[in-house]
Structure 1
Amino acid sequence: MREIKISSEKEAVEFGKGLGKTLERGDVLALVGELGTGKTTLTKAIAAGLDISETVTSPTFTIVKEYNSGRLPLFHFDVYRLENGGELIEIGGEEYFDAGGICVIEWADKIAEILPDDTKLILLEYGENEGERIYRCTF
């Protein structure tokens, strides 16, 4: 796994924007990390890199939110409230994986068993210093 040290929220946003510019149709990005490690902040930055003009908010209660104003659609998931991937299948959520956009999934470890094999994983961890994060990426 590639390790990236992030020293500030500004660096996290820069990383996310850069990542958003490189993502391609059909990419699934799994974000895994403790509460407060910056999953939603990173998703907002990815959206900016996709030229999404809408305000991006965490879809905690709706599970998924669609954004269609950018160069590719963004399907933003927050699966914190789900027990497993079967619950996402029950509501048709896995259909987004093949919907021609980018899927970013917060708390993706909860549905790991249904994620596509080529899912890109980012583990977000707290760093040693205040505001510091470590991103461990499979890509």
Structure 2
Amino acid sequence: MRRLDAVGKMSAPSLTRTLRSESPEETHRMGVRLGELLQPGDFVGLIGDLGAGKTHLVRGVAEGAQVARSEVASPTFAIVYPYRGRIPLYHADLYRIADYDELYATGFLDLIGGDGAVLVEWLDRVPQAAPREYLRLTLRPVADDARELHAEAFGSRPAELLSRWAP
């Protein structure tokens, strides 16, 4: 999927990787490693059907960002949960959001590029929510517990993040 850049031109990912996880625990460990690398301003969009492994990955990211395990919850009904760890981590779930206008009304967009990193589940529901530079992770089941994770970096910082996370 290509997206429009700031001047309305189509942009392609600057870097892609395809990873494979053989278990929920491995997906979690992948998340831990990503969470250790996140910096304020990073935006990670997650795409995948129910059961694709997004929650395992997010819980790992939170652990890697040193968020207390007891704080991590699904934001399906609250839209966004803020977590305090090594850096502020904002976990959003767009599953129940109808469109960009509804998301805008929540104040979610004020978090982008702020003091923390932003993780967004169901980014495909409102793709315009992503900033011009971000990391998009698409998860899909390929066997019983195995998952394929296709990572696409849009921009220089996301490409650096991806190359450090999945060399």
Q: Could you say whether these structures have the same fold, taking a TM-score greater than 0.5 normalized by the shorter chain as the test?
A: yes
Offset of 1:118 from its aligned partner? 0.7
Q: Which residue of 2 aligns with 1:59?
A: 75
Offset of 1:98 from its aligned partner? 2.7
Offset of 1:131 from its aligned partner? 0.3
TM-score (norm 2): 0.79
Structure exhibiting the larger radius of gyration computed from Cα positions: 2
Q: Equivalents in 1 of 2:129, 2:21: separation in Å? A: 29
Q: Equivalents in 1 of 2:137, 2:108: separation in Å? A: 21
Matches within 5 A, 1:1-139: 1-55=16-70, 56-68=72-84, 70-127=85-142, 129-138=143-152, 139=162
| Percentage of pairs with the same residue | 33
Q: Equivalents in 2 of 1:12, 1:29: separation in Å? A: 15
SS at match of 2:68: coil
SS at match of 2:73: coil
Offset of 1:54 from its aligned partner? 4.5
Q: Equivalents in 1 of 2:20, 2:97: separation in Å? A: 30
Offset of 1:90 from its aligned partner? 1.0
Describe the superposition over 1:48-73 as per-residue Cα deviations: whole angstroms up to 9, x where unpaired: 000111421111011000111x1101
Aligned-pair RMSD on alpha carbons? 1.0
Q: Which aligned segments of 4 or more residues in structure 1 are displaced greater than 2 angstroms?
A: none
Letter in 2 for 1:133: R
Letter in 1 for 2:145: G
SS at match of 1:5: strand
